[in-house]
Amino acid sequence: MKIVDARANRPQYLPETASQTAGPYVHIGLAPGAAGFRIFDRELGWDIAGPNAAGERIRVEGLVIDGTGSPVKDVLIEVWQANAAGIYAHPEGGGEVEDGFRGWGRVITDFETGEWGFDTVKPGPVRARGRMVSGVSQRVRDSHPDWQGRAQEDNVPMAPHLNLWIVARGINIGLNTRMYFDDEAAANAADPVLNLIEWERRRATLIARRTVRDGTPVYRFDIRLQGEDETVFFDV
Amino acid sequence: MTPAEYYQRDRRLHPPALTPDYKTSVARSPRLSLISLQGSMSEITGPTFGHGDISAIDNDLIKNYAKDGDPIGERIIVHGRVLDENARPVPNTLVEVWQANAGGRYRHKKDSYLAPIDPNFGGCGRTITDDNGYYFFRTIKPGAYPWRNWVNNWRPAHIHVSVFGHAFCQRLITQLYFEGDPLIPICPIVQTIPDPDAIDRLTAKLDMNAGVPLDSIAYRFDIVLRGRRSTMFENRLEGN
């Protein structure tokens, strides 16, 4: 592998490996049980919260809908979330999480209907970006104190949300989006990410609707890849 | 230590969402621009995996589904390193693969291609990179197969590869191709990538020195994930 990138503006960096579609048979690799066979002792991503997580137990359900209005039946979604205290299960996630809480899940659709769903706990608000700059940028900012208050939104916590990553046949590079909760209206109104979206009516595409079924809160979140009310996707 | 952002993704290296020659992308591609988001806690963290999540045999596709013998096909080793844009190894990260068998048939209830299922081949594996970011799989070389796009499209032999890195914003799924395959330049899925050098980097290179004589031939495939800004550690830059 060449260490020097040919493009003059990125000397010394390796170029990122290009994405390719996950294809129609993504289940073989990432959810072989759904492909129709058993191979691994343990499939990954089916238990997001574990038995010990604090907070409200919820279910999340939806469809991914293509530009013709049809459900996408071969999609795979990964979810990444904080626990009820707003902490991620990661060395830099802001603290300790409950034993067994991973905050990561993998869900596929029903091949006949395209419906997907998973059980988890409702996350808490996540701490603000703060001064999340470092290295050279941090040194520049530290030497110019007037830059410290540059971005007001850096100090506002993020409303409770799930981070979603969507791959499928026909999707050339995974799509990142977020799901927020409609019973968090005040937090959503202050959320620095929702407020980045210039078109206010598009913010609604990221907000799931709460109902209660058999005593369990169920949030409905349909994702529209294209067309009217196209879901907001992020370049993260 | 201040949490650090990752470098922005260079979208020019990746396929755009809408690539009409790959017909399925037409109705599944967003038409509006992505909203650019600077890294927050939600993007710079991501799931972690350990050896308790997988089994030792999971990276051996020749043995991990064998019932009464070895699978049919050319025995190969695929190996390489997972690095970041700073050329630093990405250790302890989950790498998952899936592929068709030597005849080009997937073990999937939705695949109806007439080539037969191999009773001794499942077609999926996974491993965790070591401290140097190194990984390897043993498998059989997958076959090319036809697919419905134009009337007569054939996928070049390929292995699907999924990598996590250490942050959700590094998440990547791609496909590994094999050096010298004449189907690469005429595949509408490969050619969704606008940059010929980026395609070349998805092409695993024959590596005669890494094979096992009289047993398996080897291909080298390095994977590069997004890099991260340096973090300040005791007033000096860490990394880079």
The per-residue DSSP string of A6-47 comes to SSTTSTTPPPPPPP----TTHHHHH-HHHHT---SSS-SSS-
Which residue of A3, A7, A25 to mutate against B (max B Cβ within 10 Å)?
A25
pLDDT of B240: 46
- Report pLDDT digits (tens) over A202-211: 999 999 999 9
CATH of the domain at B64: 2.60.130.10
Q: Which domain holds residue B215?
A: 53-224
Partner residue opposite A18 with nearest CB, options B107, B198, B237? B198
pLDDT at A146: 59
User: At A181, which amino acid appears?
Assistant: F
Domain count for chain B, please give it: 1
Residues 6+ apart with CB under 8 A from A7: none
B5 found inside a domain: no
> How far B183 CA lies from chain A's nearest CA (Å)?
16
User: Could you tell me if A197 and A153 are in contact, meaning their C-beta atoms sit under 8 angstroms apart?
Assistant: no
Distance, in angstroms, between A212 CA and closest chain B CA? 27
> What is the DSSP code (8-state) at residue A137?
H
% of chain A at pLDDT higher than 90: 80
Q: Return the pLDDT at A129.
A: 77
Contacts of A74 (CB under 8 A, 6+ apart): A24, A26, A27, A109, A111, A168, A169, B110
Size of interface A-B (CB pairs under 8 A): 305
Tell me the chain A residues in contact with residue B40 when contact means C-beta distances shorter than 8 Å.
Answer: 126, 128-129, 132, 158, 193
Pairing status of strand A207-213 against strand B153-155: unpaired
A229 exposure class (CB count in 10 Å sphere: 0-12, 13-18, 19+): exposed
Chain A residue with CA closest to B191: the answer is A20
- Cβ–Cβ below 8 Å for A232 and B35: yes
Asked if residue B72 belongs to a domain, the reply is yes
Q: Write down the pTM of the prediction.
A: 0.93
- Give the per-residue pLDDT at B1: 47
Coil, helix or strand for B96? Answer: strand
- Can you give the pLDDT at residue A34? 87
pLDDT of residue B234: 45
Position with higher pLDDT, A43 vs A153: A43
Taking CA atoms, A110 is separated from A8, A34, A71, A107, in Å, by 48, 9, 10, 10
Mean pLDDT of A136-151: 58
pLDDT for res A89: 98
Residue B214 lies in a domain: yes
Lowest model confidence (mean pLDDT) among A48-62, A117-131, B55-69, B225-239: B225-239
B11: in domain: no
- Cβ-contact A39, B120 below 8 angstroms: no
Considering just the CA atoms, what is the radius of gyration of chain B in Å?
Answer: 19
* Beta-sheet strands, E only, within chain A: 57-62, 64-65, 76-81, 104-108, 116-121, 161-167, 175-181, 207-213, 216-220, 223-224, 234-235
- Better pLDDT: A135 or A65: A65
Q: What is the pLDDT of residue B3?
A: 75
DSSP B112: -
Distance from CA of A217 to the nearest CA of B (A): 24
Interchain contact, B111 vs A231, CB within 8 Å: no
Q: What's the gap in Å between the CA of A235 and the closest CA on chain B?
A: 5
What is the reported pLDDT for A132? Answer: 60
CB neighbours (10 Å) of residue A164?
27
Q: CB A25 to CB B48 under 8 A?
A: no
Residues β-bridged to residue B108: none
SS3 A185: helix
From B26, B47, B58, residue closest to A40, measured CB to CB: B58
Query: Mean pLDDT, to the nearest integer, of A133-156?
Result: 60
* Helix, coil or strand: residue B195: coil
Set of chain B residues whose Cβ sits within 8 Å of the Cβ of A82: 41-42
Q: What is the pLDDT of residues A68-113, one digit of tens each?
A: 999 999 999 999 999 999 999 999 999 999 999 999 999 999 999 9
- pLDDT, tens digit only, all 240 positions of chain B: 457 899 999 999 999 999 999 999 999 999 999 999 989 999 999 999 999 999 999 999 999 999 999 999 999 999 999 999 999 999 999 999 999 999 999 999 999 999 999 999 999 999 999 999 999 999 999 999 999 999 999 999 999 999 999 999 999 999 999 999 999 999 999 999 999 999 999 999 999 999 999 999 999 999 999 999 876 554 455 554
Average predicted confidence (pLDDT) for chain A? 90
Longest alpha-carbon distance in chain B: 63
Q: Say if residue A215's pLDDT is above 60.
A: yes
Q: What number is the ipTM of this complex?
A: 0.96
Whether B160 contacts chain A with CB within 8 A: yes
A103: left (phi over 0), alpha (psi -120 to 50) or beta: left
Chain A CA closest to residue B51 = A42
* Measured CA distances, B135 to B67, B79, B128 (Å): 26, 6, 7
Taking chain B, what is the end-to-end CA distance rounded to the nearest angstrom?
16
A197 chain-B contacts, CB cut-off 8 A: 35
pLDDT for residue A46: 93
With tokens 């491993």, the residue in question is B127
